[in-house]
Amino acid sequence: MFKKTTLNNKLRIITIPLKNVNTVTFLVLVGTGSKYEGREINGISHFLEHMFFKGTAKRPDTLAIAETLDRVGGAYNAFTSKDVTGYWAKVDKKHQDVALDWISDIFLNSKLEQKELEKEKGVIIEEFNMYLDTPTAYIGDLWEKVLYGDQPAGWLVIGEKENILNMSREKIVDYFSKHYSAKNTLICVAGNISPKAAEAKVKKYFKDINTTPVSDKKRVVESQGKPESLIYFKDTDQTHLCLGVRAYNSSHPDRFALGLLATILGGNMSSRLFIKVREKRGLAYYVRTSAEENNDTGWLSTQAGVDHKNIEEVIKLVLEEYKSLKNNLITKEELQKAKDYAKGSMTLSLESSDTQAFFYAEQELLRKKIMTPEDIFKKIDQVSINGINKVAKDIFKPEKLNLAVIGPFKDKEKFDKLLTI
């Protein structure tokens, strides 16, 4: 069972003992990301994350930082999203002190040197270019752009090239001092540990963490009165689409029904859209539906990659299933299959120390409330056939429809005409 402790400086520590694993994962989450940025510094959260791997006084360069955990066969990385930035390390339980020393060192003592910053600009530009050349990933960015437009929720996490090239040490240090604080930081330790000993060690290693006040992000503005689309012209071998609707945030009471609805639509290989679009029609290799629930926004969307000539047909097929769920009740068997899939896949995903760490830490940081798997299973079991239909009627409305497309198209009006339900 997990244990949460809040220190006097507001730093939160979560320990999760797992007797049947031989690993330990340390995860440091900070409640900041691209939604906390202004236009002129968009991309700075991600840039700062990169700079944490460039050297400390104890480990003066990238090689020294990388070798620390490479020498013990550890796994480690970092990530930045709209709402959170995270750093993690997973090691054999006998090397947990090495991992804790390493992660606290890069988090507290990174030098953030100007020369390294200048070199990293090239690295991030190439990362930017990689995303542009990966439509299956970039379509998600365009989807959020069509949803939220010119506000932080609609901007790229990585930032635009101009901002990347204009990044300075002064901006980086200022952002770090204002957004990295004990008050919005959570440290999670999961694995083969003694919770009491692990907590004591975290207190020791992070005793010098910044304690300055932090400001909240700007409220996301959601305003839509008709279907919207965004067409990104690119001479690709296939067209990639993301079609869906605005939905619920992570505190909405119907979010569990929303998740099951997404599973029924396109969450697995026996889902409606997988069978209809791929297996029966042979129109796509990948087609999937998912629900995203952030603490202030949410949506349901279907993604697929299709032949250019089939794009209109696939859009119509997806909308047909949306409409069918709104106008007809699902079967008892279909609901039970979705529930069993949701519970089973969660159980499988939580077998390792790193997924346990992320499961509990992200709930605490983003939702301010932790539900155990058993708590979530109870909520899933409470969803009814009528509950699914209620959600479908609520979200599948013309004024909530949105579409993002990557492919060799320029006629936006053609796609707008398809968005009826």
| Catalytic (active site) residue 49 | yes
Supply the CATH classification number for the domain 228-416.
3.30.830.10
| Pair 96, 22: CB distance under 8 Å | no
pLDDT at 37: 97
Nearest-angstrom CA–CA distance, 41 and 37: 6
Check 49, 144, 199, 334 and give the catalytic one: 49
What are the 10-residue block averages of pLDDT along the chain, 421 residues in total? 96 97 98 97 98 98 98 98 97 98 98 98 98 97 97 97 98 97 98 97 97 92 95 97 97 97 98 98 98 94 98 98 98 98 97 97 94 98 98 97 97 96 91
pLDDT at 153: 97
Spell out the CATH class of 3-205.
alpha beta
Q: Which residues are within 8 A (CB) of 127 and not within 5 positions of it... i.e. 6 or more apart?
A: 158
User: b/e for 361-376, b at 16 or more Cβ within 10 A?
Assistant: bbbbbbeeeeeeeeeb
pLDDT at 215: 87
The domain locations on the chain are: 3-205, 228-416
16 bridge partner residues = 190
Pairing status of strand 239-246 against strand 401-407: antiparallel
Beta strands in 234-384 (DSSP E): 239-246, 284-293, 298-306
Pairing status of strand 12-17 against strand 185-191: parallel
| Pair 304, 271: CB distance under 8 Å | no
Nearest-angstrom CA–CA distance, 325 and 391: 9
pLDDT at 216: 87
Q: Do domains 3-205 and 228-416 have the same CATH topology?
A: yes
pLDDT at 144: 97
pLDDT at 337: 98
